């Protein structure tokens, strides 16, 4: 399975989220509760069980999908500081952030 990276801020496209929901959600009346709070869906011989964690992840995905991609207030603040000429670069802070970022890349790889 390939992954397409299209600059969406690390967020899956809305269509992908909706497709995933439709694949894991059964029609009304076909879901039944099982031990441990997991949901199962039976269709013929097929069975799907979602744990509580999977259900929580689906809820979080839905919340994330509804968040704005851009923090407009922050963009306006930066535009204002650039326009007024009060934007100041702190070289030590930039260096610290770069080092932290690089250290994170080392751990991920």
Domain extent, residue 75, equals: 70-109
How far is 69 from 23, CA to CA, in rounded Å? Answer: 25
The answer on 106 and 75 residing in a single domain is: yes
User: 4-44: per-residue pLDDT in tens?
Assistant: 555 455 555 555 556 555 555 444 444 444 444 455 555 56
pTM of the model: 0.31
Number of domains in the chain: 2
Looking at the structure, do residues 50 and 3 belong to the same domain, yes or no?
A: yes
Is the Cβ–Cβ distance between 65 and 17 less than 8 Å?
yes
Name the more confident of 34 and 101: 101
Q: Is there a single domain that holds both residue 90 and residue 109?
A: yes
48-90 pLDDT per residue, tens: 777 889 889 999 999 999 988 888 999 999 999 999 999 888 9
Same domain, 77 and 29: no
**Side by side, which strands form the sheet with 46-50?**
31-33, 39-43, 46-50
């Amino acid at each position: 399975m390939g992954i397409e990276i299209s600059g969406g801020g690390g967020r899956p496209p809305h269509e992908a989220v909706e497709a995933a929901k439709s694949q894991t959600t059964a029609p009304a009346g076909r879901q039944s509760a099982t031990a441990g709070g997991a949901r199962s869906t039976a269709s013929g011989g097929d069975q799907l069980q979602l744990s509580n964690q999977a259900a929580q992840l689906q809820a979080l995905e839905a919340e994330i999908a509804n968040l704005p991609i851009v923090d407009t207030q922050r963009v306006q603040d930066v535009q204002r500081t650039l326009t007024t000429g009060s934007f100041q670069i702190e070289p030590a802070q930039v260096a610290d952030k770069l080092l932290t970022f690089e250290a994170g890349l080392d751990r991920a790889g």
